[in-house]
Every structure is written in structure tokens, then in C-alpha cells.
């Protein structure tokens, strides 16, 4: 079988490099084209990838991407992705966007959180693999979920779908610093992060809107930066309906993820970030208090793998009809 030619647009960021690292091991694809997020930087190599992928990162070029690739992974600034994505689709390339540009379906919300995104003529599939496999098969433009929404939704969506939850949903999430990207800033300075925990975007983070879209209800979402590099853990607080018990909760998860190789349902053995870093797994566990009907869910993943590059590749696998785990196990 001929290898499918892949492009990475935004190859110098953390998600882009993780994607190249994973793609280098994938049996059915080949990264032919890796580009920076802008058109002016010169070509350069990635020292950490010597011997793994020895190509060069070149300036961003739409024409070259369209000419050389069958599918493109994008991790671009919003306004750039907003242009490049639809243009590539128009030229027959399948696009898997790791950024947020195309995630929100509602026009008003999209204008609020991603003002540069145009109104699209083409359909967008929200790439939470485990819940949109069918839609992915025909997808031309896939909006891969954010890292926080992936962890939160994989834990909460089955409960919402099964109508087990009653009342407020609170999501308290803790993320490693690589989630804030590669650009140096005071926020990501080692001396500011080391020994520190900080909440940010409280009651106003765009991943909140994304989670609400997919849960079809309002949530309170608070992200925190914790002093580690990779990994994200979400603690979700809900109350279940009166007639729900522990068995029903366990059965809901078991059934939701029976055929999902990358979701590990842990029950009351609560997952930890340590178990999932450098893998495409999302682990989900919970504790339930019968008396108060309060349910505390813990879900975690590697923000650069299942929360970004890994899930994008998983989506590619489904979209191209390959084994969902190809290149990821």
C-alpha cells in the first residue's frame, strides 16, 4: 500500500512536533511537508527529532500543501487557520485542525470566541473520536477538540447522553504548562510556574463554550496551570438523578466505551496523570456518594497526545478507514 502523504502546518509548536514524532511511527502515512505557522521563516531542522524524522520545516505555503499532501494537520494561529483550512478543503485536501478555529457550531458563540473564523459553506465534524466515528468517515474538515474539552467530555458525555445527571456541572481542571504553547511569556516562565498553581480564565475560557456545546447545557469550568510539562486532569462534580445508582453509572461507561481502545474506564481506582502521559489514553474514574447523590469524576490524558496530536491522528485513522490504533499503540 502506498503511504498517504501528510502535511503538518504549524510544525514548530509542541503539538506539531508531537504529531511528527507520532507520524514517523505510523505504518500508513508519511510526513512529506512540514511547515512553520508563517510564510517568512526560513527552513530548519528539529534537533530533538534527528534520526526520527529528518525533514525540514519550511515556510507556510498553501500551494505546496495542496500539491504535496492528501491530508493536513493544522496547528496555526486562529486567523491563519481560518483561511488555510477551507482553502485546502476546496482543493481536495482533508484537513484535521488541532486549533480551536472551527470547533464552535453556533455563529454567535464562534464570533465571540474566534472572531476571525468565517461562516463556512462546508460541514465541520467535531473530532471527539469516541463520539463521532460515523461522521468522521466522510469528513473533509475535522475540528479536533481542545485538550480540556476532551478530558471533560469523555467523562461527562455518556452521563448526559444517558440522562443520568441533574443540576449543575462543575469542572475543575489542572493542566501542565505545555498546554499554554511554545511562545515564551511571563505566564510560562519557569520561575513563575515552578512551585506554583494558578487558576486562569475563570468563568470566561473559550473551552467552556466548547464543553457546553457538546453537553448541551451550561457548565462552570475552571482551568488551572500546575507545575508539570505534559498532562491534564479534570475533576468534574455533578449530582445524579434520584433513581440512579453506582451500577447504572458503571454500566453507562462500560457501554459507552466498550469499543474504544483509548478510553480506559477505571471505576473507583482513580486515574492519575502519570498513567497516561506519552500515550493516547484517556483514563476515567469516579467516586459516588449514595446519600447525597454526588458524583465526582476524574479523567485525565496527555494534553499533547489524546488532547492534541494523538487524537488528530486517531481521527485520521477513522477518516481513512484504518485501524483506529494505527501508529498510536
Q: Distance (Å, rounded) from C-alpha 288 to C-alpha 249?
A: 9
Nearest to 230 by CA among 308, 127, 312, 149: 308
Minimum gap (Å) between residue 197 Cβ and its own copies: 5
Minimum gap (Å) between residue 78 Cβ and its own copies: 21
Q: Report the chain's terminal Cα–Cα distance, integer Å.
A: 20
Over its C-alpha atoms, the chain yields an Rg (Å, rounded) of 19
Three-state SS at 135: helix
Q: Any idea which residue has 516562565 for its cell?
A: 189
Asked if 53 contacts 92 with a C-beta cutoff of 8 angstroms, the reply is: no
Minimum gap (Å) between residue 220 Cβ and its own copies: 5
| Residues that are catalytic | 147
Nearest to 208 by CA among 279, 156, 267: 156
Q: Are strands 141-143 and 170-175 parallel, antiparallel or unpaired?
A: unpaired
**Residue 9 or 295 with smaller CB distance to its own copies:** 295
Q: Distance (Å, rounded) from C-alpha 183 to C-alpha 180?
A: 8
Helix axes 147-161, 246-256, angle to 10 degrees: 120
Q: Any idea which residue has 479534570 for its cell?
A: 234
Minimum gap (Å) between residue 281 Cβ and its own copies: 7
**Residue 142 or 152 with smaller CB distance to its own copies:** 152
Nearest to 19 by CA among 319, 311, 318, 309: 309
Give the CA count within 13 Å in the CB-facing half-sphere of 318.
25
Cell numbers placing 5: 502523504
Minimum gap (Å) between residue 122 Cβ and its own copies: 34
Minimum gap (Å) between residue 23 Cβ and its own copies: 13
**Residue 140 or 174 with smaller CB distance to its own copies:** 174
Maximum alpha-carbon separation in the chain = 63
Amino acid at each position: 500500500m502506498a503511504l498517504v502523504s501528510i502535511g503538518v502546518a504549524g510544525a514548530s509548536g509542541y503539538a506539531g512536533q508531537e504529531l511528527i514524532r507520532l507520524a514517523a511511527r505510523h505504518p500508513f502515512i508519511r510526513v512529506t511537508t512540514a511547515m512553520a505557522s508563517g510564510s517568512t521563516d526560513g527552513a530548519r531542522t528539529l534537533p530533538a527529532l534527528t534520526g526520527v524524522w529528518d525533514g525540514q520545516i519550511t515556510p507556510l505555503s498553501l500551494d505546496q500543501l495542496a500539491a504535496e499532501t492528501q491530508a493536513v494537520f493544522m496547528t496555526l494561529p486562529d486567523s491563519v487557520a481560518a483561511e488555510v483550512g477551507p482553502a485546502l478543503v476546496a482543493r481536495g485536501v482533508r484537513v484535521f485542525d488541532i486549533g480551536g478555529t472551527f470547533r464552535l457550531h453556533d455563529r454567535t458563540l464562534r464570533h465571540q470566541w474566534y472572531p476571525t473564523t468565517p461562516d463556512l459553506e462546508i460541514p465541520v465534524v467535531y473530532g471527539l473520536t469516541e463520539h463521532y466515528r460515523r461522521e468522521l468517515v466522510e469528513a473533509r474538515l475535522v475540528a479536533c477538540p481542545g485538550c480540556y474539552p476532551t478530558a471533560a467530555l469523555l467523562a461527562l458525555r455518556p452521563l448526559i447522553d444517558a440522562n443520568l445527571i441533574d443540576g449543575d456541572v462543575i469542572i475543575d481542571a489542572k493542566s501542565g504548562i505545555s498546554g499554554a504553547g511554545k511562545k515564551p511569556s511571563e505566564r510560562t516562565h519557569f520561575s513563575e510556574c515552578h512551585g506554583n498553581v494558578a487558576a486562569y480564565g475563570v468563568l470566561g475560557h473559550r473551552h467552556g463554550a466548547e464543553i457546553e456545546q457538546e453537553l448541551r447545557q451550561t457548565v462552570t469550568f475552571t482551568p488551572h496551570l500546575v507545575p508539570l510539562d505534559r498532562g491534564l486532569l479534570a475533576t468534574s462534580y455533578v449530582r445524579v438523578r434520584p433513581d440512579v445508582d453506582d451500577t447504572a453509572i458503571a454500566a453507562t461507561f462500560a457501554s459507552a466505551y466498550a469499543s474504544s481502545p483509548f478510553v480506559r474506564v477505571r471505576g473507583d481506582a482513580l486515574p492519575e496523570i502519570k498513567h497516561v502521559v506519552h500515550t493516547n489514553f484517556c483514563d476515567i474514574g469516579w467516586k459516588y456518594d449514595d446519600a447525597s447523590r454526588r458524583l465526582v469524576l476524574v479523567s485525565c490524558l496527555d494534553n499533547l497526545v489524546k488532547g492534541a496530536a494523538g487524537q488528530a491522528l486517531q481521527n485520521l485513522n477513522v477518516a481513512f478507514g484504518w485501524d483506529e490504533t494505527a501508529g498510536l499503540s
